[in-house]
Amino acid sequence: MNALSAFANEFALGRIKVVDLTQTLSPEFPSISLPPEMGQAWPFRIEEVSRYDERGPAWYWNNFSCGEHTGTHFDAPVHWISGKDLPNNATDSIPPERFIGPAFVIDCSKEAAQNPDYLLTRESILKFEERHGPISPKSWVLMRTDWSKRLDPAAYQNYDDEGQHTPGPDVEAVKFLVAERDVLGFGTESIGTDAGQAYHLRPPYPCHYYMHGAGRYGLQCLTNLDQLPATGSVVFAAPLKIRNGSGSPLRVIALVHD
């Protein structure tokens, strides 16, 4: 029996749980906001083509539209200027083996509850490793903040006069994960892999800058991270095969052994 048939067997026996880490694509789900004079990503929109009616008597279907960075979505390295010249940096050229990887889930929910601008530090990651063991290469690091439990879009976006206040990693944490842990990518529950105020970090948006600059990926708007163990789960995150795409909405699932 090889590993895959062992897996199939375990799965059939119900010993492997599937956790859906994906938000539902809907027009209500908040979209990223840029200054209005800049180009804007489309929010998710859906228009009915027909619904068993004069437009199509026996069938129901819709047209939908959205940006590459809508809902639960994947960021490819080409998304950021630091990753623009890397090989295999777009949704269609990333080797498909990168779409499966173990996940390390760092629980920052208490910190984020107290401080919406909470920044995950290198020291916090080292403390996580003291408890759970080292983060293995080619793994996803997922930052659990319980931000997805903010069902009110205003609370989820969390804007005030100074902009958005959502948690994310700090500069040193990102550099550490890339250079010393060789991670596959970084995932968050909020609308960006970077913190809401990350424009003021040096460099601005360090998670985008360093992760994508090193050919790593991002996942954002994840949910149900509270159902994952700190270690031991496997994440499936395959973006749509958009030619030279910078990212894609996708279904992210995790497998968890009982």
Partner 1 sequence: MERQKRKNPVLRTRLPTLPPAARSRVALGLTAAAALGRFELQQCRDCGTVQYPPREACQKCLSTNLAWQKQSAEGEILAETTLEHSNDLFFRERLPWRLGLVKLDCGPTVVAHLHAAAKQKVRVRAMLDRAGQAVIAALPQQETSDMADDRQLREFTCDPKHRKILVTDGKTALGQALIKELVSHQPEIVWVGHAEPWKKFAGFEEIRTLPQVTLVPLDVTDSKNVREVAAEIAGKVDIVVNNAEVHRSFGIANRPGVESARAEMDVNYFGLLRLAQEFGPAMRSRGADGRSSAVAWVNLLSIYALANFPPHGTFSASKAAAHSLAQCLRAEMRPAGVRVVNVFPGPIDDEWNQLLPPPKLAPAALARAIAGALRDGIEDVYPGDVAQEWLARWRDNPKALERELSA
Active site residues: 79
SS3 assignment, position 94: coil
**Smallest separation, CB 242 to partner 1 (Å):** 17
Cβ 119 vs Cβ 186: under 8 Å: no
Residue from the set 54, 85, 160, 258 that interacts with partner 1 by CB under 8 A: 160
Spell out, one character per residue from 48 to 87, where the chain touches partner 1: x when CB under 8 A holds, - when not: x---------------------------------------
Q: Which is nearer to partner 1, 58 or 154 (CB)?
A: 154
Question: If binding is defined by CB under 8 A, does position 43 make contact with partner 1?
Answer: yes
Question: If binding is defined by CB under 8 A, does position 34 make contact with partner 1?
Answer: no
- 124-151: b or e for each residue (b if 16 or more CB lie within 10 Å)? bbeebeeeeeebeeebbbbbbbbbbebe
Measured at the CA of 163, the angle between CA 162 and CA 168, to 5 degrees, comes to 115
Among 221, 232, 239, 238, CA closest to 255: 232
Residue from the set 1, 3, 14, 39 that interacts with partner 1 by CB under 8 A: 39
**Smallest separation, CB 30 to partner 1 (Å):** 6
Among the candidate windows 24-32, 127-135, 215-223, 244-252, which touches partner 1 by CB under 8 A? 24-32
SS3 assignment, position 128: helix
- Give residue 11's region: left, alpha or beta (phi > 0; psi -120 to 50): alpha
Per the structure block, which two tokens stand in for 226? 């509270």
Residue from the set 6, 8, 18, 46 that interacts with partner 1 by CB under 8 A: 46
Question: If binding is defined by CB under 8 A, does position 151 make contact with partner 1?
Answer: no
- Give residue 161's region: left, alpha or beta (phi > 0; psi -120 to 50): alpha
Question: If binding is defined by CB under 8 A, does position 161 make contact with partner 1?
Answer: yes
Binding site for partner 1 (CB under 8 A): 27-28, 30, 33, 37, 39-40, 43, 45-48, 153-154, 156-157, 159-161
